[in-house]
Amino acid sequence: MTTRARTGAALAAWTLLLALAWVLGQVKRNTTDRDLKLDAMPLYGTWDPHFDATLLAPLAAGALVIAVLPAAAARWRWRYAVIATAAAAVLFSTALALAHSHPSTWGDLDKHYASGGRFVDEAGGVAPFLRQYTELQLEGVFPVHLQSHPPGLVLFLWGAAKAGLEGLLFQNAVVQLAVAAAAVAALVIGRDVAGERLTRRAAPFLVIVPAAFWHNNADVVFAGVTLSAVACLILATNRTGPRSVVLTAVGGLLAGAALMLSFSAALLAVPVLVVAIRRRRWGVLIGGGAFAAAVVLAPLLWGYWWFEGLQVTRARYYAGVASARGYWYFLLANLAVFAFALGPAIAVALARLNPRTSGESRMWIVVGSCLAAVAIADLSGMSSAETERIWQPFMPLVLLAGCALTRPRGWLALQLAVAVILAAALSVQW
């Protein structure tokens, strides 16, 4: 099949998947008595078109990135190219947030997690809070986000507040730091596995992507921490001696922290496993796993057991809106939303990424292993909608497929158009 034919087929498939998810979604809404809380089916939120001056922010930021970053990423020294990509990711995410029409755009972390610090104070401190965490989860005492996650982020924000770091400015700085960390981690992983040339070419696609519209919530924090852990562990598999030991330890500790933030972080062990097994670095797997286990097991001293939390989360999930949303429709719709968040250019990039050439075949190791993690997440039944937010940790590694697009600016302009239209049309509280 020619390149033009693959491009046309990929765009057609992307469009058809979205159209099919929308049509079947309307059928599901009309045949379901309960409120699915998906007024923009299959997206979370409501359609609330607005066309005002705020849209100039992402248009200007996106145009600047498209004009500058492809050349900068290709020609600047590696460290400066990485810094430029991280800065551009923060710039574009912030610009989209400015264009967002919902009044709660900047308050997601505060509303859903920082406010949970009162439960720590009411319990009488960290130890009693951890001791009763799963019990209160099961009883539905906590808000929905605390019912669905381990206590790590609540405890971090509670501790930060005790140290004087609190408020919307600090919380949004944490989110945007995570945006930058996720972009840097993806670049580091791509370079280590597939080489610098292809990773430089992929860099702008980590920035200009419709998914950046949702870069203002806790799942971005989970992405930053989890992908940093994956990056450290993958780097460790390609090094020896003290550097490998240090990277293994740091990666394992970060992986444990990621697991205490989100249960889904466990799925990003797939790329680490694939790369480590391919390189036959069993010591990194054992050492990294040991450090991660130490972090996860430590709360047992105060009565919190991670696997019990996972079981309770599953029980609460199916006792809530998931019971109305069901399984089979979202098996398709989750993937459609994921494809939409990645944008049409990435659909084309995935079709063009050639597994028969050495560099692109290595990039397929990263992209393909992450897509395998997405497939597991989809089949698990623990994601029925809201994957534009929940699956943020998976997106940066799939965006590395953008390296297959050798003339990026036109494709980046298409990505920008989708992102700006989304910002103009969708209102969502996170």
Q: What is the pLDDT of residues 229-285, one digit of tens each?
A: 999 999 999 999 999 999 999 999 999 999 999 999 999 999 999 999 999 999 999
Q: Cα separation of 15 and 189, whole Å?
A: 30
The whole-number average pLDDT for the span 298-314 is 95
pLDDT of residue 316: 87
Contact call for residues 215 and 388 (beta carbons, < 8 A): no
pLDDT at 331 > cutoff 80 = yes
The whole-number average pLDDT for the span 346-361 is 91
pLDDT at 368 > cutoff 80 = yes
The whole-number average pLDDT for the span 191-218 is 97
The whole-number average pLDDT for the span 328-347 is 97
3-state secondary structure of 426: strand
pLDDT of residue 356: 82
How much helix, strand and coil, in percent to the nearest 5, is found in the chain?
80, 0, 20
The pLDDT-based confidence of 138 (bands split at 50, 70, 90) is: confident
pLDDT at 225 > cutoff 90 = yes
Closest CA to 154 of 141, 164, 163, 145: 145
Contact call for residues 148 and 316 (beta carbons, < 8 A): yes
Of the listed ranges 3-7, 19-23, 355-359, the one predicted with least confidence: 355-359
Of the listed ranges 53-62, 102-111, 406-415, the one predicted with least confidence: 102-111
pLDDT of residue 289: 98
